[in-house]
Structure 1
Amino acid sequence: MGGFSPEWLALREPADHAARNPELLAAVGAYFTPKTSISIVDLGCGAGSNLRGAFSALPGRQHWTLVDFDQRLLDAARETLRLWADEAREQGEELVLAKDGKSITVDFRQADLMKDLEWVLGWQPDLVTAAALFDLTSKRWIERFVAALASQRLPLYTVLTYDGREKWQPPHEADARMLAAFTHHQHSDKGFGPAAGPDATEIMAEAFRKSGFAVSTGDSAWTIDVGQRDLAKALTRGIADAVLETGHVEADAVADWLGARATEAASGLIGHYDLWARPV
């Protein structure tokens, strides 16, 4: 799995952080309140946005292991975190950060989550996290993942899993066809088998409940307004490219839809859900 650029991840990070469900984040923080330190494995870490979005709710001493298949993104994460922190220093391969009174040590590990999943989870962290990952994975992989977590009684906090909701203003006559084609594309293989796409949160929640975990979900939709034109343009361009790959909407209709989204005072809602699963 690959194809996400550091530039795209940087563009979407403010929207990701604004959309993160505050009640679920608070619940995760409350769960770990008795601990003074915590170890976290972040799957598909990209440029480290999930760390930056979650660290404030977690105990004062944190050890994060950031895992990604793309070494480019791991390098971007190291540099972005260095610039973000109040203080940063190298300690061997680790990056040691101070931010808002928290002490954060970060390891960076390249891994293929299709082949190396059990090895990664074998590091036995206190918490497994991910952001914008599971809609790219398959139902079979999700069930394997949940079984691996359940066998070790590891909690999961994951955010920004796409749920299939899209609503743009002003409306366009091709909206419904574009969304149907994009949903079809979301179910294509992203490296884990046929992707769960918008069904991922429901699949994961059901698998966790069957494993005896408590599960909470919360809305984390992006709300894109006219002040986020760069994000809207990049997002609608990506949607258009995906739709063209399916062949389900004529190229002229896609171009007309994309042109309207680029020139009008467009705003939109892109649906996501956060999920917090823990053993009971």
Structure 2
Amino acid sequence: MGGFSPEWLALREPADHAARNPQVLAAVGAHFAAKGSLTVVDLGCGAGSNLRGTYAALPLRQHWTLVDLDERLLAATRQTLAGWADEAREQGEELVLRKGDHLMTVDTRQADLNKDLEWVLGWQPDLVTAAALFDLTSRRWLERFVAGLTSLRLPLYTVLTYDGRETWQPPHPADARMLAAFKHHQHGDKGFGPAAGPEATDVLAEAFRKSGFAVSIGDSAWRIDETRHELAQVLAKGIADAVLETGHVDPATVADWLASKAQKPSALVGHHDLWARPV
């Protein structure tokens, strides 16, 4: 799995943070409120957005291990986090950050979550997190992942898993065909086998509940307006490119649909956040 540029991740970060479900995040924070410190493993960390979106709800002392396959992104996340923090310094291989009252140490690890999953979970943190990851993975991988978490009784907080909802304004006659073709593309192999795509949250929730974990799910849809015009343009181009790969919509229709998104459209793109913990 790969192909996510630092530029795309930086562009989507404000929308990601605005979309997070506040009730789910508050429940995560309440669960750990009595702890003086916390260890977190963030899977598919990208450029560190999930740390920046989550840290304030957690105890004042935190240790994060950020995991990604892409060495570029691991290098970018250290640089971005150092610029984001109020204070930052290197301590051996770790980055020590102070942001407000929070003190965080950050370690970055390159790992293939397909091959190295059990090794990563074997670090046994207090919390496993991820953002915009699990719709890219397969049903089989998700069930394996949940089995690993539940056997170790590790809680999971994951945000922004795509759920297949998509509404653009103004509407276009090809919207429904474009969405159907995009969903088909979402089920393609992203490195873990045929992807669960929009069904990923349901797969996770079902597997956790069968294993006796408590599960909370909250809406975290992007609501894109004219203030996020650039995000809308890049998103529409990505959707159009994916649809062309499927061959399910003719190129002229795709081009016309994409052109209609040039006039500062608004959009709702559905995601869900999930919080699963042992009881």
Q: Normalising TM by the smaller chain, what interval?
A: over 0.9
Aligned CA-pair RMSD: 0.4
Mapping 1:39-188, distance limit 5 Å: 39-188=39-188
CA distance in structure 2 between the partners assigned to 1:226 and 1:252 by the alignment = 26
CA distance in structure 2 between the partners assigned to 1:136 and 1:236 by the alignment = 19
SS at match of 1:45: coil
SS at match of 2:203: helix
Q: State the TM-score, normalizing by the size of structure 1.
A: 0.99
CA distance in structure 1 between the partners assigned to 2:120 and 2:264 by the alignment = 45
SS at match of 2:95: strand
What is residue 275 of structure 1 aligned with on the other side? 274
Runs of 4+ in structure 1 deviating by more than 6 angstroms, as ranges, are none
What is residue 7 of structure 2 aligned with on the other side? 7
CA distance in structure 1 between the partners assigned to 2:228 and 2:19 by the alignment = 14
Q: Which amino acid aligns with 1:118?
A: E
Identity between Structure 1 and Structure 2 (%)? 77
CA distance in structure 2 between the partners assigned to 1:58 and 1:227 by the alignment = 30
Give ranges in structure 2 of 5+ residues lacking alignment: none
SS at match of 1:118: helix
CA distance in structure 2 between the partners assigned to 1:195 and 1:220 by the alignment = 21
Per-residue CA shift, 1:52-110, capped at 9, x if unaligned? Answer: 00000000000000000000000010000000000000000000000011000000000
CA distance in structure 2 between the partners assigned to 1:265 and 1:203 by the alignment = 35
Q: State the TM-score, normalizing by the size of structure 2.
A: 1.00
SS at match of 1:78: helix
Per-residue CA shift, 1:179-235, capped at 9, x if unaligned? Answer: 000000000000000000000000000000000000000000000001111100100
Per-residue CA shift, 1:124-183, capped at 9, x if unaligned? Answer: 000000000000000000000000000000000000000000000000000000000000
Mapping 1:124-273, distance limit 5 Å: 124-262=124-262, 264-273=263-272
Q: Which amino acid aligns with 1:277?
A: A
SS at match of 1:227: helix
Q: CA deviation at 1:39?
A: 0.1
Q: CA deviation at 1:265?
A: 3.1
CA distance in structure 2 between the partners assigned to 1:36 and 1:21 by the alignment = 24
Give ranges in structure 1 of 5+ residues lacking alignment: none
Q: Which amino acid aligns with 1:131?
A: A
